[in-house]
Structure formats: structure tokens, C-alpha cells
Structure 1
Amino acid sequence: MFNGLSFEKLLLVGVIAVFLLGPDKLPSYAAKLGRLVRTLRDYANGAKVRMKEEMGPEFDDVDWKKLDPRQYDPRRIIREALLEDAPVAAAPVIKPVSKPQPAYLSRQKDGASPQPTAAVATPFDSEST
């Protein structure tokens, strides 16, 4: 969270705070900041203790790193889900029956005989379904 926060930056913030707040108000604000940090830490510890009490002994068995959402890769999850299933037999490909075209559709403008059309099956990809 505070990866770019170095000692020099904290010192600079402290010097600016001394100039803005003045030496007479700075100790009271530092005390308030300390109380705020202690209060937040107590809230976090209280939530942790309450969760342990409510979940019981299963709380210690939970692998929290495994539940980290930053580790999920959708491609890996899909790949593993597809590999778990047994291979599914591909559906049979049904070839369309070619019907003779009516004369008004097969006539060309120049009066030449129409080109024969071959019945071509629609491409089928068994992995996409």
C-alpha cells in the first residue's frame, strides 16, 4: 500500500507539518494520530478474534493464500475445467441434400447453362460447443 513511502518522504511530510501546524499544535495532533492508529489496530484485532470465535476450529485450517483473488487466471481455470471433464463425442455432421434449383434461379444472363453446385457441409467445430 505504501510501497513508495521512504524515510526521506516521511521526514519531508514531518517538516511540512511542523511549519503548517506550528510547534504548539503538533504534539496534540501527533497524539490524536497515535490514538487513531491504536483504535484501527484494535478494530482489526477484534474482527480477527470474532471471526475465529464464529468459525471455530475450521478457521485455522483455511488456506488464505489460496483464496487470494490476485492469483486467479481465467485461462487456467477454464483449461482445468475442460480437462476435468471426459471427452464428449462429437455430434454427427449432417450433410444437406442438394435440391434442384428452379429454372428462374439457375438461368444466367448470357443464356449459358448454369454451373453445377456441389453440396458443401457447414463447417463444424466440436471444441466450440
Structure 2
Amino acid sequence: MFADVGVLELVTLVILALVLFGPDKLPEAIRTVSAVMRKFREFSETAKHEVRSGLGPEFEDFEFEDLDPRTFVRKHVLDSDGLALDEIRHALDPRPELKEVMSDAFDAEPVSLRKDGDRAVAGRPSVDPDAT
């Protein structure tokens, strides 16, 4: 729950609590906060149980964490019997097709775009550069 709280943040919270409540009232404030958190957890577990029972027996294994899109993707797409992340990256990587097209383009023989009767005079281009 508090995995991203570092040591500096924790020390800052303890000092702030000591300043706000004082050393005499701090244990009572901690007990009050812990009781509120315990009641909140009980309430949320009761609500989860009521939702599961209201959904019916076919949703007994329903987990609320599965509603998070990241968890859903990890569970259903990236699991061991589904696709692996490397396979998805390989399937969406355009580089192999681009390499194939580029090698075909470089290996092809040059094609002349001139008509049979259209020949350039030596030293002069076949197109007027001022007209373009």
C-alpha cells in the first residue's frame, strides 16, 4: 500500500506528527487512525462480499483487481499460455518487412523511364531546366 514511501518521507511524517500532536497525544492519534483504517477495511471487505454474492455463483472467482486495465492485460494477454511480450513486439515490428522491401528495391535492375525515341544529346539534358 505504501511501497513508494521513502525513508525521507517517513521521517518527515513522523516529525510533522510530533509537531502537530505532541509526544503526549501522538499514541492516541495513532490508535485513532489505525481504528479508522481497520473500520474502512472491514467496510470495503463487506461491500466486496455483498457485490460477489449479488453477482451470483458464476462470479465467485471474480477479483476487483482484475478491473484495472494493467492487471487485465497481464493476466489475460501476457500469461504463460497466452502471447509473450517478445512475441507481441516481434509481431508489431515493421523492420523485417522494410528490410525485405529495401533489399528487393536494391536488387532490382534499373528501369529506364525514357520513351524509345527520346534520346538525350550528349552534354545536354533531355528536359529544359528553365521550364521546370
For Structure 1 versus Structure 2, the TM-score category normalised by the shorter chain is 0.3 to 0.5
| Higher RCO structure, 1 or 2 (CA under 8 Å, sep 6+) | 1
Q: State TM-score, norm by structure 1.
A: 0.44
Give the structure with the larger helix fraction.
2
Tell me the TM-score normalised to structure 2 length.
Answer: 0.44
